[in-house]
Every structure is written in structure tokens, then in C-alpha cells.
Structure 1
Amino acid sequence: MSKENEFIHKDFEFEDLVKKAKRRSMIKMVFISLFISVIVLTGLYFIGDTVMKIKMEKETSLDSTWSGIMGANIEERGTIYNYSLTSATAKTKLVKIVGGVPIPWGEQEKVFTILGTSQLISNNGPSGLGYSDDERIPLYYEGERVVEFFHPQVNYKQIFDDRKLLNVIDDNKVVEMAFSFDDGYSIEEVNEVFKKQLAWYWVDTFSKDDIENDNKFNKDKNFRDDTIYGFEVYGFPYNRSAEAYSASNFISVLEKVKEDGGNYHGDAEKIINNITNQGKIKLEPENLKIIGIVVTGKPSDLKKYNDNSMIRGATLGATTDQY
């Protein structure tokens, strides 16, 4: 009887040893699994972080390139990057140069994540107050007027001429004004007349269908004229130190964006086709049609264009103190 009891006792000891071994094995497996998971997650994080930075560098560069030809007299003034554990934000400051004075023109903010996504964060856009039956509701942004343009081949119910406002603006101010032409002119023809106050050229990037659609819309008496706002147009700045460079850079941007793809690929291709009449003429500075400009200066500087026959319409933009 004692021997039987001794055998049963030894069996319990063995089972206890097995349980302890299993427990140690389980703890070991959990530790190894956690260790491997940490390594994998860390690796995935660094891969995602690297991909995010590459994407951010490429997209912000492309955004900056495109913004150089879009938006009337708007310039970038540096980008600030802010990083968090799983994302990064690129914030770009914009300005207008009016008579040599920089005027803040909002910011563009874009968020990138380690998942490879990016999203443009919309800032407050331009706005205006008025009634549906008002002849005109000017838009304001950052407390300043937004310039409007009129295409020479589009018929409008009314074309605005804000040059009369130059008589009531103090000459200690500097003013931005958009001139829309009655036709397309060469860069040389525009420079000959407006060179001293010239800030930016508006290039004709419209197709025949675009013009036809605008004419149809403006015939409808139930709607206000579909003018073209400054943030919608394409062109390039006037460069006093290298006049030929600006037009060539405009063309280079279009060709580069068309080749590199990205979000602007389709727009670049369409603009090139419109300028070249579907490839019938070469894409070169001599074939660019300038259908409007932005000029800046004191009111007295801009009054000299009051009787210019090239100007079909004129709209006031940003104004600020000269000093």
C-alpha cells in the first residue's frame, strides 16, 4: 500500500513539472512574439516615415512649381514643416508684392501621413457680401480686394472699370490693378506700354470650347457675369532683371509637369494643347498671347493708363500703405 501511494505521489510531481515547463514555454513564446512584433512595427514605422518624407518632398516641390504659374501676382515665401509621430504638415506662406511692399496672402497647408496619404487643408477662401440682384459683388481675401479679369473673346453684360477709383485713393498708398486687354498681345508689345508698372502677365490658356461655354453662360439673364478671378488664371511674373527668363520658365513648368505627372498633369497637358492649338504651333515665348496683366504702383503712377486703348476692363486688387 505504501508503494502504491509513493507511485501516485511521484506522478503528481511529474505533472507539476510539465505544467511549469509549459508555463515557461508560453511566457517565452509571448516574449518572442512581442519582441518580433516590436521589430516589425518599428520597421514598418520607419518605412512609412521614409515614404511619407519622400512623398512630401515630391508633392511640395510640385505644388510650389505649379503655384509659380497659377494665381495673379501671388508668390510663395517659404514652407515650414512640422512633424508628429505619424504625420507631418507643410505650411506655405503666400504674399502679393504691390509697389514693392509684400502683403500677406494667406497660407496653404498640407498634411501627410505615414500611410502614404496627403490632404490639402482648406483655409478660408475669398468671400463677398451682397444680394442676388446686385450688379457686382466684389470678393475679398485677407481683407483685400480680389482682382477680376475679362477674356477678350467673351461677351459680358458689363465690364468693370475701376480706374476711376484711382482718383479717390490717397497717393501715399500703393495699389494693385488688373487690366484685361481687348485682344491677345505679344510680350514685347505689352512691355513697350506697361513696363514701368508691370508685375504679372496673364496668358491666354483658354480653348474654343471654354470661350463658347463662357459666352453661353453670360447670355443667361438669370445669372451675373462669369468673370475670371485672379486665383483662377495662369501666367508669370515680370522679371526686371531677366525679362526673357520668366516666359521661358512658364513654358518649362508646363513641360515639366506634363512629363512628371502628379495632380497637375492633366491641367498642364490641356494648357499646352490650348496654347499650341493642338500642336499646330510651337510652345515658345513668341507664341504666348498676353490677354491681361497686373500692374502695381501709386495711384498717380497708374493714372497714365486711363486712356489706353488696349485696356478693355480694369479691376482693383490689394492696396496698402507705401511706407
Structure 2
Amino acid sequence: MKSDDEKLKELFNTKETTNFAKTIRKAKVFSILKTVLLSLMIVIILSFVVLISNAKILNNMAQQKQMDLRTWYDISMPNAYIGNMQYDDRLFTGEIDYVRYRFLGNKPIADGSYKEGYGFLLINGIYGDLGYQLFAGSGNLNEITNYNIAGKRIMKFYHPSVKYDNYINNLDVVDKIGANKLAEMSLSFDKAYTVDEVRAMLPKEVTLNWYWVDTYNEKELSMAEISDKNEKSIKESVVFEENYVYGMKALDLLGNKIDKPEEMFIGAISRGSKDKNVAFIYKNIFNKLSEGKGEVKKENLKIIGVVVSGDTDSLKKLKNQNYIKAATLGAVADKY
């Protein structure tokens, strides 16, 4: 049997042990809370740094993408202009949404909404490409009509050095368009002309919107191998759609005449060579036009077609012009 002294010692020892255990538990909890709070603060600070860096990097990329896009439109996309833009920056990726418009005479018309993405990390997301076409057509390009996402006819171009079995001439349907309508048309010439010659030979009644510049080599003009309905291989003369031709805007963003369009075109070729995504296109165009001399001048620009617009009365002035080998209809809109 324990004495009173032994009982008192056990009692005090138990209290000391219990208090010490509580102190240890409190210390552990405090340490965990401290670690959690510290980790949370680090996460918050790092997230803030990442978000700020992400915004800054994407902003710079968006500005560069905008400049690249505008430069691209300076050498391509006949009679198409970039309108209002909206930027959508996310984490590591972003997107530019922009509207496009055209000039029919002096009237601007909407030409659909388009997107361009940018980013600095490969992030899974939306797949596929809306592209420029409303739907993918099939068959001989000379026989089918494609439409862009706004429902506008996609114009075609015929190179003068290529012999085609037949040429489209939509000047024959001008009378059917209607007197209260405006329209654009691509004109493919019988040979190459200078910028000044083109200005002189086109009727004053039509609006000159765009010059098609000869930027092609022999390989690009060679006949393409395709398969017919019976899967037989045949050769087809290359017909160019408006998304795959290069040239000069004759009108500025407000629809005003550009006095020296060749300067903007030549400058765009030089700037575009810095765009790593399509630099090879600019370099090929520069090499073709400069003829190895390291410089592109106005006299190097051979015009093989144009895009014009106007009302039906003005477009009728183009009928029976010997220099026109083909003419394809593009956008049509009400005059008023």
C-alpha cells in the first residue's frame, strides 16, 4: 500500500506530464499554422508575380501580334481591312478578336469577325481552325465558288503566264446585280503592267481598291496534280483565291486614295521578315521582286491584276476591255 507521500508525488508528476504534453501539442499546432500561413503567403506572392508577369508578357505579345497582323494585311487580303480589336488575355495564352471590313466604292461593309491567338506556353484548349471559308468546297477551283465566314464570295485570280482551259468572266452578270447595288470584282490581266499604266487604263468611274503584284516563281505556277471523280490523276492549272495572293492596297483605312501604295507595300515586306511565323513568305517575295539586287523599287512591281468596286453602271465600263482575261465577283451590298 502506497504511503501519502508517494501518492502526492504521483499526483504532481501526472500534472507535470499532462501540462508538458499540452505545451508540446500547442507548439506543434502553432508550428503547423505558421508553416501553412507562410506557405500561403508565398503562394499569394508567387501568384501575384506570375499574374503580373503573365499580363506584361501577353500585353507585349498582343501588341506584336497586332503589328504583325496589320503588316500582313498591307501585303495581302485584297480589299480587306482590320477594324476594331478586342484583346482576351488568359493564363499563358491570349487572343485578338477583330472585325474586318471592305470598301465598295466609298461605302465600308462588314466582312466578318476573326481571331488570332498568341501565347508563351503550350496549353491545351480549343482545337481546329475556323479559317476564312464558310465551308470547305471540293472540286476544280475554276468551277466552284467558295464563300468566306461572312458569306461573301471569295474572289479568284488567274496568272497571265498560265494557260487555262477557261476563264470566269462575271462581268456578264453585272446587269443582274441590280441598279441599287454595289459590288467588288477581281480583274486578272492579260499581261503585267506598271502601277502607272494600271491607273491610266482603268475607267475613272470604278474605284481601284487593290493591286495584284506578281510575286510567283515557276514552281508556284506549275500545274497541280489532283484526282478526278474516278480517282484518276490529272493536272489542273493553278487558280489563286484571294487569301493566297499578294499585292498593294490602293485605299487607306478610311477609304482614301493612297498616292504611293508601293512605298507601304515595300516597307511591309521589310518589316514582315521579322515575323518568325511567316518570315519565309516575306523573304521569298523580297527575293523575287529584288531579283537578287538587295532592293525592291517601284519598277520591280509588275501588276497582273486588281480589285475594283463600284455600282453596276461603273462596273459595266469594264466590259470588252482587252486587258481583262478574267473577272470574278466578290462582295455585293446595297448602295444605300
Range class of TM-score, shorter chain: 0.7 to 0.9
**In 2, Cα distance between the equivalents of 1:130 and 1:281?**
40
Contact 1:72 1:294 in 2 (8 A): yes
Gap runs ≥5 in structure 2: 1-5
Please tell me the root mean square deviation across aligned C-alpha atoms, in Å: 3.0
Q: Indicate conservation of the 8 Å contact 2:55/2:89, yes or no.
A: no
Distance 1:86 1:135, change over 3 A: closer
Residue 149 of structure 1 deviates from its aligned partner by 0.4
Larger Rg: 2
- Alignment partners' CA distance in 2, 1:150 and 1:273: 22
1:7 aligns to what?
13
The 3-state SS of whatever aligns with 2:223 is helix
2:62–2:87 contact (8 Å) kept in structure 1: no
* SS of corresponding position for 2:161: coil
What corresponds to 1:152 in structure 2? 160
Partner of 2:26: 20
- Distance in 1, matches of 2:330 and 2:44, equals 57
Q: Provide the residue aligned with 1:321 in structure 2.
A: 334
Match of 1:79 among 71, 74, 85: 85
Out of 249, 263, 268, the position equivalent to 1:253 is 268
* Aligned twin of 1:140: 147
Deviations 1:192-231 (A, max 9, x none): 11162211100111112212x336779x974665311112
**Structure 1 runs of 4+ off > 6 angstroms?**
116-121, 128-131, 215-218
* Secondary structure in structure 1 of the residue aligned to 2:143: coil
Identical-pair percentage: 26
The TM-score, its normalising length taken from structure 2, stands at 0.84
| 8 A contact 1:111–1:120 mirrored in 2 | no
Inter-partner Cα distance in structure 2 for 1:298 and 1:234: 25
The match for 2:315 is 302
- Aligned positions of 1:170-189 closer than 5 A: 170-189=178-197
Greater CA deviation, 90-99 or 300-309? Answer: 300-309
Cα gap change, 1:249 to 1:208, in 2 (>3 Å): same
Quick one: distance in 2 between partners of 1:189 and 1:112? 42
| SS of match in other structure, 1:80 | strand
Q: CA deviation at 1:241?
A: 4.3
Contact kept, 8 Å, 2:65 with 2:118, in 1: the verdict is no
1:228 aligned to 2:240?
yes
Aligned residues of 1:109 and 1:121 also touching (Cα < 8 A):
no
Partner of 2:170: 162
Q: TM-score, with normalisation over the residues of structure 1? A: 0.87
Counterpart of 2:259 in structure 1 is 243
Q: Distance in 2 between matches of 1:282 and 1:111?
A: 33
Q: Deviations over 1:234-267 (max 9, x none)?
A: 11121464421x1110000010111x23322111
Does the 8 Å CA contact 1:129/1:137 hold for their aligned counterparts? no
Give the total of aligned pairs: 319
TM-superposition CA deviations, 1:103-152 (whole Å, max 9, x none) = 21112113456858799984463357988589711122323322110011
Deviates further, 76-85 or 54-63: 76-85
